[in-house]
Amino acid sequence: MTKTRQQVEYFCVAVRRNYETVWRIVSKHDTRDAAQREMDERRAYTGSFNYDNAELRIISRSEGKKEFGAKWEYVAIGTPPKVRATRARKEE
């Protein structure tokens, strides 16, 4: 008997400022409605960290995989990368 993992769908708020070429994923949510509320809050920001000159959009997990590659997953900004374990070589 094989076990299949259920693919959980989640939604991310992404931002791309007018001087950047990449999308930055700034938050993750369980529902599209929660992501929409977050996006609306960010659009209302004023001051030095506003989003006046930026595109904001909601990206689902499946949309992210289609656009950024099959291995794409949300990773919070500032999270250290996972280090793959390597086998130690025998010294001669």
Q: What is the pLDDT of residues 58-72, one digit of tens each?
A: 999 999 999 999 999
pLDDT higher than 70, residue 13: yes
Q: Which residues contact 36 (CB under 8 A, 6 or more apart)?
A: 58
pLDDT higher than 50, residue 9: yes
What is the per-residue pLDDT across 75-84, written as a single tens digit (0 to 9) for each? 888 888 777 7
CA distance linking residue 14 with residue 77, whole number of Å: 12
Domain layout of the chain by residue ranges = 11-68
Mean pLDDT, range 8-23, rounded to an integer: 92
CA-based end-to-end distance of the chain: 44
CA distance linking residue 26 with residue 21, whole number of Å: 15
pLDDT score at 2: 45
